[in-house]
Structure 1
Amino acid sequence: MFYLVPIMLEKVGIIVIVAYVLSQMNSFRQLFQHEHKTSEKVMLLLLFGAFGVISNYTGIEIHHNIINKAEWNYELDSESALANTRVMGVVIGGLLGGPMVGIGAGMIAGVHRYTLGGFTAFSCAISTILAGTVAGYLGKVRKQKKKKITSTFAVTVGMALETVQMLIILVTAKPFEQAWQLVQIIGLPMIFVNGFGTLLFMFMIQSIKRDHERTRANQTNHAFYIAEQTLPFFREGLNTNSCKEISKIMLKLTDADAVAITDHQKILSHVGAASDHHIPLAKPETLLTKRVLEYRKILVARTKAEISCIHSNCPLEAAIVLPLKVKNNMVGTLKMYYTDPEKLNQVQQQLAEGLANLFSTQLELAEAERQTKLLKDAEIKALQAQIHPHFLFNSINTISVLCRTDADKARKLLLELSSFFRGNLQGARQMLIPLEKDLENVKAYISLEQTRFPNKYQIDYLIEPNLKKVLIPPFMLQPLVENAIHYGFPGSKNRGIIQIRIFSENSRLIIIVKDNGIGIPNDKIDVLGKKIVSSKKGNGTAIFNINERLKGIYGSQASLVIKSQVGNGTNITISIPSENKGVFDQDANSVYSG
C-alpha cells in the first residue's frame, strides 16, 4: 500500500505540470476569472474531462494485488484494476464550473475509464460520474450562498468523493474478495494523494485569480492616476490646447506610440508617431476614426489596412479608437495608436476602454460645472437688478426739487446719480470689481442721501489703503449702508454714525459695516441673509442678495455674520478669500478716514 504512494504522486505531478503549462496561456487563465458563459463551461468540461482521460492513461495497473510497472494504459486485463487521480480533475471542474461542467467532465472521464476494461470498470465509471455530479451541485450551492470555493473545502470534497468511490467498488465490483483486497491496497493512497493533488491544483487556480485581481487593481490605479493628471485640462473642455496636454500625458503613461483626440469634425491633437501628417484642426486622416464617429462604438484595428490612413507611408499599424460621450451624446474620439500590433494587447485595450469611460465622465462633470456657473451668474445678475429701484425714484424726486431752488446742486447730484448707476451697470456685467469702485458707489449714494437728509448721517471710513485694488463682488457695501440708514435710524433725532472698516487678516478680506442705530431683535437676526424678510420699507432682499452672491461665488469660503443688540446698533461682518494674492504683502497697518 505505501509503495503505491510515491508512484501516485508522480501521476499527480503529471497533471499539475500540464495544468501549470496551460496556466501560462491567457485563454486558460481567463476561464477562472469570472462567471462562466455556456461556451466557457463547455471549454471547462472538456478541459477537466481531458485531465480525467490523462489520469486513466497514466494510471497504475493493479493485477491480483500486484502493482505493475508504470506504463501507458490502453486496455486492462479483465481481472485488473487501476489506481489513478481521475476523480481529482472531475471534482475540481465541478466545484469551479457547476453541474454542467461536473457532469460533463465526469461523463468523459468515466466513459473513457469504462472502455479500458478491468473488473472495476463499471464501478469506476459510475463513481466518476457521481463525483462530478455531486461536486457540481456543491459548487453551485456554495456560490449561491456567496461563499468562496476554498482549498480546504475542495480537498474535503475530493477526499470524501474518493472515499465514496472505494465504497462503490466494494458494493458493485465482483468478486467481493478481490474488490476488498484491492481497496485495502489503493484506498488510503488514492484518498490522500488525490486530496494532495486537489490542494496543489486549487493553490494554482487561486494564484491565477490573485494575479488577475492584482493586475486589475494596478490597471485601475493606473487609469485613475492618468485621469487625475488629465482632469485639469478636461475642465477646460475639448480644445486644441487642453487636448494636446491630455495626449502628452497619455503618451507618457501608456504603451501607445501615438495618442490623438478629435471632436466631430477635426483633429484636436495628435502626439507621437505620424504627427507629420495627422495635424490638429485638419479632418481625420483614417477611415477607422470616421467609422467610430459614424457608428458611435469602440473599434480596434490590428493591421495597417484596417486603420486605412490616406498616407501610404504612415507608421501606425494598430489602433483602438473610442467614442467620448457627454450624456450619451458623442462629442469626439480618443485614439491610441501603435507601430507594433503586438503592443495592442488585452491589457492596453482594457486600459483604453476604462480611460474613455473616465474621460467621458470628466467631460460630463466639466459641462455640468460650466452650466452651474452660467446659471449662478444669471441668478446673480437677476439679484443685482433688484437692488436699487426705489433709490432711483427718491433721488429723482430730490433732484427735481433742487432744480427750482439750487440748480448747481441739482447738476452735481445728477452727476453723482449718473456715476452711481454707471457703477451699477458695470458691476452687473462683472463677477468681481476693485474695492475702490465699490467705495465710489457708496460715496455717490451717501452724497445723494445726505442731500435729502442734511447732517443726519456721518460716515467714517477705516480702510487699509493697500486694499483698493483687491477684487470683491459688486454691490457689497452700498446695500449694507442703505440698510443702516433706512432701518437703523427711523425717526431718530440723534445723528447716525456708520463706520465702514476694511482690513486684511490671514489672506482674507474682512469688511465690517457698523452703525449706532436701534439694533435688530434676536428673532430677526436668525433669519436675515437666509431668506427674504418682509418689512414696511421694502421686501428685505438686500442682505439675502449679498449672502446668495457670496455663496454663489465663494461657496463655503465666504461668511456673513450679523451681530446686534436692540438699542446698541448693528455690526455686519463679511469675510472672503483675497482675489489678489500678494496685495497683503504691503503695509497693512496704515488706515485713513474720510
Structure 2
Amino acid sequence: MTTLLILMLERVGILLIVVFLLSRMRSFRKIIDNEHGMKERLLLIAVFGTFGILSNYTGIEIRGGEVSTQVWQTDVAFDSALANTRVLGVVLGGLLGGPLVGLGAGLIAGAHRMALGGFTAAACGVSTLLAGIVAGLIGKRFQVNDKHTPWRAVAIGIVMECTQMGIIVLAARPYEAALTLVKVIAVPMILINGFGTLLFMLIVQSILQEEERTRALQTHKALYIADQTLPFFRQGLNAHSCREVAAIILKWTNAAAISITNRHQVLAHVGAGADHHMPMQRLATQLTKNVLEQGRLLKARSRDEIQCAHESCALQAAIVLPLQVHGKTVGTLKLYFTNPGQMDQVEQELAEGLGKLFSTQLELAEAELQSKLLKDAEIKALQAQVHPHFLFNAINTISVLCRTDSEKARELLLQLSVFFRSNLQGARQMLIPLHKELEHVEAYVSLVQARFPDKYEIRMDIEPSTEKVLIPPFTLQPLVENAVRHAFSKPKDKRIGQVTVRAFKQDDQMVLVTEDNGSGIDRGLLDLVGKQTVDSAEGTGTALYNIRKRIEEIYGEAACFQVESERGAGTKIVIRLPLHHNQWGDQHVEGLYRG
C-alpha cells in the first residue's frame, strides 16, 4: 500500500504540474473565471477529458494484488486493473463547468479507460461517467471563490472515489479479484485523489484571487489617473488641458504615446512620434474618423492600420476610444504602442475604463459650465437693479449748473459719464480691480455733493496694496448710495452725514468696510437685512440683499457679509473676500470645447 501511495503521488504531481502551466495561459484563466459560453464549455471538456486520458496512461497496473512499476500504460491485461487519478479530473471538470462539462469529460475519460481493457474496465468507465454527471449537477451551485470550496471539493472527490470502489466490487468479475483489488487501491486512491483535488482547487482559487487583484490594481490606477486629470478635463477639450491629461496618462500606462482629439483636429500628442504627430493638425487617420462616426472602441495592430505617412514612425499599434458627452461623441483618446505585443487585454480594459471616466468628467465639466452661466445670468439680473432714476436727478442738477457754473456742470458731466461707464463695465464683468470700484464711488459722491452741498462728507481710507485686488462690481457704490439715501433721510437731522470707506488686507482676505453716522437700523430688522428684502419706512434693503447675494454666488462660504447697526448710532457693513479666488474666467467659458 505504501509503494502504491508513493507512485500515485508521483502521478498526481505530474498532473498538477500540467495544471500549473495551464494556469499561466490567459485563455485557461478566462474560462476558469466563470466565463462559460459554449466555446468555453467545449474547451473545458477537452482539458479535463485530456486529464482523464493522461491519468489512464500514467496509471499504475495492479495484477493479483501486486503493483507494477511500468510508467506508461497503453494496454491492460484482462486480469489486471489500474489505480489512477482519472476521477479527479472528471470531478473537477464537472464542478467548474457544470453538467455538460462533467458529462463530456466523463465520457472521454471513461471511454478511454474502457478501451485500455482489464477486468474493471466497464466498471471504471461507468463510475467515471457517473462521477462526471453528479459533479456537474453539484457544480451548478458550486461557488469556486468561497473559502470553504477546496474542502467541499475534497469531500465530493472522496465520495465519488468511494462510489467507484463500490461499483468495482458490485460490477467487476471475478468478485474475489475485484474485492482484493479494492482492498489494495481504495485507501491510496481516496487519499491521493482527495489530496490532488485540494491542491487543484487551491491553484484555481489562486488564479481567481490574482485576477481580482489585477482588476483592483487596474481600478485603482484608473481612478488615480481620473483624479489627476479631473482639474484639466473640467476645462473641457482644449489644447492646454489635453496636453496635461495626455502627459498624466502616458506616465501611468504602458503606452508609448497618448493622443487626444476633438471631432476635427488633434489637440495633444505626447510620447513617441511627437516629432511628426503635431497638435492642432486636422485628423489624418481613417481609424480615428471611424471611432468618431461609430462611437465605439477600435484597435490597430499594424502601422498600416494606423495610417501614419511618416516613414520612420515608431508607432505600430493603437487603441482608439470615443469620448462621449450625453451620448454624443465629442472626441477620441488614443493609446499608441511601439510593439503590438504591448497592447494586451489589461491595457485595453484600462483604456476602456479611462474612456468612460473621462467621458463622465467631460459631462460634469459641461454641467458645471451651465451652472456657472446660470449664476452669471442671475448676477447680471441683480446688477441691473441699480436705481435708474438717479440719472434724472443728476441731469436736473447739471441743467441748473449750466446757467450758474458752466465749468462745474462740465465736471459733473464727466463724472456722470464715469458713473454710467462703470455701470456698463460692471454689467459685463464678474470681477474688477478695487480702484475701478472706487472711481465709481467717487463719481457718485461728486454728483450727490453737487446736488446737496455741504450735507455729506465721504472719507476714503484705502490701503495702497489693495487697489489692484479684484472684487465684484457694485460692491461699495451701492453701500455709499444706501447710506446717503436712507441713513440721513430725516428732515430735522442737521448733522453732516459722514460715510467712511476703508479697504485693507487681513491674513488671506480683503476687508471692505463702509460705515456711517446715520440713523441706524431697528433691532427687529437687523437680522433680516441683507438676507431678504424688507418693508420699512427707510427702504426695502434691496441693495444690501443684492450685494450679499452676488458675493455668495461668486465666493460661496469663503466670503463673509456682516451688518452691524444700532438705532441712532449709525451702521457698519463689513465684507470679507478671499484674496485668492479660483475663477474659471472668460477664457475657459469660451474654450470649453474649442480645440
Q: Could you say which TM-score interval applies, normalised by the shorter chain?
A: 0.7 to 0.9
SS in 2 for 1:261: strand
Residue-by-residue CA offset, 1:427-482 (whole Å, 9 max, x unaligned): 22222112122122223333444455555555444432321221111111122333
Q: CA deviation at 1:261?
A: 2.7
Tell me the equivalent position of 1:17: 17
Task: Give the TM-score taking structure 2 as reference length.
Answer: 0.86
Tell me the equivalent position of 2:42: 42
Q: CA deviation at 1:43?
A: 1.6
Tell me the equivalent position of 2:579: 578
Tell me the equivalent position of 1:303: 302
Instruction: Give structure 1 stretches of 5+ with no counterpart.
Output: 582-594
Tell me the equivalent position of 2:113: 113
Query: Counterparts of 1:37 and 1:72 in 2: how far apart (Å)?
Result: 35
Instruction: Give structure 2 stretches of 5+ with no counterpart.
Output: 583-595
Structure 1 stretch displaced more, 433-442 or 344-353: 344-353
Alignment of 1:186 onto 2:173: no
Q: Within 5 Å, give how 1:401-550 maps onto structure 2.
A: 412-451=411-450, 457-491=456-490, 493-494=492-493, 495=495, 496-520=497-521, 524-533=525-534, 540-550=541-551
Tell me the equivalent position of 1:291: 290
Q: CA deviation at 1:276?
A: 4.9
Task: Give the TM-score taking structure 1 as reference length.
Answer: 0.86
Provide the alpha-carbon RMSD of the alignment.
Answer: 3.4
Query: Counterparts of 1:486 and 1:89 in 2: how far apart (Å)?
Result: 96
Query: Counterparts of 1:527 and 1:88 in 2: how far apart (Å)?
Result: 82
Residue-by-residue CA offset, 1:397-421 (whole Å, 9 max, x unaligned): 5556666777666555444333222
Letter in 1 for 2:149: T
Query: Counterparts of 2:155 and 2:536 in 1: how far apart (Å)?
Result: 82
Q: Within 5 Å, give how 1:111-510 maps onto structure 2.
A: 111-143=111-143, 147=146, 150-174=149-173, 176-311=175-310, 314-396=313-395, 412-451=411-450, 457-491=456-490, 493-494=492-493, 495=495, 496-510=497-511
Alpha-carbon spacing, 1:404–1:102, altered in 2? closer, same or farther (3 Å): farther
Letter in 2 for 1:354: G
Matched-pair contact (CA < 8 Å) for 2:508–2:580: no
Residue-by-residue CA offset, 1:233-266 (whole Å, 9 max, x unaligned): 4344333444444444444444333333333233
Q: CA deviation at 1:19?
A: 0.9
Alignment of 1:560 onto 2:561: yes
Query: Counterparts of 2:86 and 2:529 in 1: how far apart (Å)?
Result: 83
Residue-by-residue CA offset, 1:55-86 (whole Å, 9 max, x unaligned): 12222222332222243333434443332222
Residue-by-residue CA offset, 1:106-131 (whole Å, 9 max, x unaligned): 33333333443444444433433343
Alpha-carbon spacing, 1:161–1:493, altered in 2? closer, same or farther (3 Å): farther
Tell me the equivalent position of 1:588: none
Residue-by-residue CA offset, 1:78-112 (whole Å, 9 max, x unaligned): 44333222222223233333333333333333333
Matched-pair contact (CA < 8 Å) for 1:229–1:249: yes
Letter in 2 for 1:431: M
Structure 1 stretch displaced more, 173-182 or 14-23: 173-182
Query: Counterparts of 2:468 and 2:555 in 1: how far apart (Å)?
Result: 19
Query: Counterparts of 1:220 and 1:410 in 2: how far apart (Å)?
Result: 72
Tell me the equivalent position of 2:592: none
Tell me the equivalent position of 2:51: 51
Q: CA deviation at 1:510?
A: 1.6
Alpha-carbon spacing, 1:491–1:112, altered in 2? closer, same or farther (3 Å): farther
How many equivalent residue pairs?
580
Query: Counterparts of 1:243 and 1:431 in 2: how far apart (Å)?
Result: 27
Query: Counterparts of 1:122 and 1:489 in 2: how far apart (Å)?
Result: 116
Letter in 1 for 2:333: L
Alignment of 1:5 onto 2:5: yes
Q: CA deviation at 1:284?
A: 3.2
Structure 1 stretch displaced more, 239-248 or 209-218: 239-248
Letter in 2 for 1:428: A
Query: Counterparts of 2:132 and 2:562 in 1: how far apart (Å)?
Result: 75
Q: Within 5 Å, give how 1:81-120 maps onto structure 2.
A: 81-120=81-120
Q: CA deviation at 1:183?
A: 3.0
Query: Counterparts of 2:247 and 2:354 in 1: how far apart (Å)?
Result: 14
Letter in 1 for 2:573: I
Query: Counterparts of 1:148 and 1:486 in 2: how far apart (Å)?
Result: 80
Matched-pair contact (CA < 8 Å) for 1:227–1:359: yes
SS in 1 for 2:141: helix
Query: Counterparts of 2:482 and 2:147 in 1: how far apart (Å)?
Result: 70
Query: Counterparts of 1:526 and 1:157 in 2: how far apart (Å)?
Result: 77
Structure 1 stretch displaced more, 207-216 or 522-531: 522-531
Structure 1 stretch displaced more, 559-568 or 33-42: 559-568
Structure 1 stretch displaced more, 400-409 or 568-577: 400-409
Query: Counterparts of 1:485 and 1:170 in 2: how far apart (Å)?
Result: 114
Query: Counterparts of 1:523 and 1:15 in 2: how far apart (Å)?
Result: 90
Query: Counterparts of 2:581 and 2:343 in 1: how far apart (Å)?
Result: 49
Tell me the equivalent position of 1:584: none
Q: CA deviation at 1:384?
A: 1.0
SS in 2 for 1:270: strand
Query: Counterparts of 1:186 and 1:35 in 2: how far apart (Å)?
Result: 37
Query: Counterparts of 2:70 and 2:509 in 1: how far apart (Å)?
Result: 88
Query: Counterparts of 1:444 and 1:427 in 2: how far apart (Å)?
Result: 14
Q: CA deviation at 1:12?
A: 0.8
Identity of aligned residues (%): 56
Structure 1 stretch displaced more, 34-43 or 232-241: 232-241
Structure 1 stretch displaced more, 560-569 or 299-308: 560-569
Alpha-carbon spacing, 1:98–1:412, altered in 2? closer, same or farther (3 Å): same
Structure 1 stretch displaced more, 518-527 or 350-359: 518-527
SS in 2 for 1:141: coil
Query: Counterparts of 1:516 and 1:180 in 2: how far apart (Å)?
Result: 117
Alpha-carbon spacing, 1:512–1:177, altered in 2? closer, same or farther (3 Å): farther
Structure 1 stretch displaced more, 267-276 or 17-26: 267-276
SS in 1 for 2:2: coil
Alpha-carbon spacing, 1:283–1:560, altered in 2? closer, same or farther (3 Å): same
SS in 2 for 1:278: coil
SS in 1 for 2:32: coil
